[in-house]
Amino acid sequence: MTDAPALSPQRLRHAYRQMRLIREFEERLHVEIATGEIPGFTHLYAGQEAVAVGVCEQLGDGDYIVSTHRGHGHCIAKGCDVLGMMKEIYGRRDGLCKGKGGSMHIADTSKGMLGANAIVGGGPPIAVGAAIACKIRGNRQVSVAFGGDGSANQGTVFEAMNMAVVLKAPVIFVMENNGYSEHTGAAYAIGSCDLAGRARGFGMPAECIDGADFFAVYEAMGRAVARAHRGEGPTTLEAAITRFYGHFEGDPQNYRAKDEVARHRRTMDCLQRFRARVEADGSVAIADLDAIDAEATDLIDRAVREARAAPAPVEADLYTDVYIQY
């Protein structure tokens, strides 16, 4: 808490709203995907909301993030329009990416959201580049690379980490360790079983945090941003977290113990824990949170309704947006 000033009630409500919106978005997608109406394959972020929101609540539109194949939460947390996102996921013409990218490529550079990414490890080098721009401008902007435990084994991520240290780039590597890459456990795929330790090996400070605790994430991120602002370069945050659903929708999850998700839903639900904490310290009225929940449900209802009704792209769209001029 020392590093970050206590959050005002409306900041707290905003943070809660963002987490709830992500949860609602994903829970609803889980239902709609089952109907077969949504094309492609989708990776849900439900369970990890406190990481995206705890990080992005420390950022402004001028700051940058790069995301992953599991990007919906990062997009919402960075301020992407949920209606445009839902339409994109439905493959609609007025989706955020005109239906050309889909779930794994949602982006809004005007919001500093430099794209979800369907290539594991594709994002971190891009985040370093955005950080170079921040550094040259000298305007206290920072850049964030979200990534999973599995992505941490991609060489591109190591290159990005070392280069960030060499260039003292203001970038924060947020490693969301949800225990699995697809159907393989992190305990197997990460030789050292210690992402933070690996990052320290590259010469940057690294903190391990409880990814289900918004406040822990928010405060650690505050320290990382402060370091970047002091010109001390990159930081890694390893967030222990879990995903409430399969790797992608339709994943039978045989690699998980029968009770694992249920147990995590009881103990690692960032929304429940946020509610418990603010109820305890009285910083926000529970009624306000209930109201936010209702709003979120309505907004997502509307998003799905509009996405269903929205027009599909037309043949002319097939040839556009490849080049600015060719």
Q: Quick one: which segment of 4-12, 150-158, 288-296, 300-308 binds other proteins (CB under 8 A)?
A: 150-158
Kindly tell me which of 162 and 253 has the beta carbon lying closer to a second copy: 162
70-99 mask for other proteins (x: CB under 8 A)?
---------------------xxx-xxxxx
| Binds a second copy (CB under 8 A): choice among 81, 159, 182, 232 | 159
Q: How far is the CB of 186 from other proteins (least distance, A)?
A: 7
Q: Which is nearer to Mg ion, 7 or 65 (CB)?
A: 65
Cβ proximity to a second copy: between 157 and 175 the closer is 157
274 binds ligand TPP (CB under 6 A): no
**Contact between residue 239 and residue 16 where contact means Cβ atoms under 8 Å apart:** no
| Distance in Å, CB of 160 to a second copy, minimum | 9
Other beta carbons within 10 Å of 56: 28
Cβ–Cβ < 8 Å for 46, 242:
no
| Member of 47, 95, 124, 148 binding Mg ion (CB under 5 A) | 148
Distance of CA 138 to the CA centre of its chain: 26
- Residue 169 Cβ vs a second copy, minimum distance, rounded to whole Å: 10
Binding mask 230-259 for ligand TPP (x = CB under 6 A): -----------------x------------
What are the distances in angstroms from CA 75 to CA 57, 68, 79, 165, 196? 12, 10, 6, 26, 25
CA distance 133 to 6: 31
Number of residues that bind other proteins (CB under 8 A): 90
Q: Does residue 33 belong to the site contacting other proteins (CB under 8 A)?
A: no
Map the footprint of other proteins across residues 52-71, applying CB under 8 A.
64, 66
Q: How far is CA 194 from CA 43, 63, 197, 208, 263, in A?
A: 24, 28, 5, 10, 23
Q: Where are the beta strands (DSSP E) in the chain?
A: 64-66, 143-148, 171-177, 180-181, 184-185, 206-210, 235-240
How many Å from the N-terminal Cα to the C-terminal Cα in the chain? Answer: 53
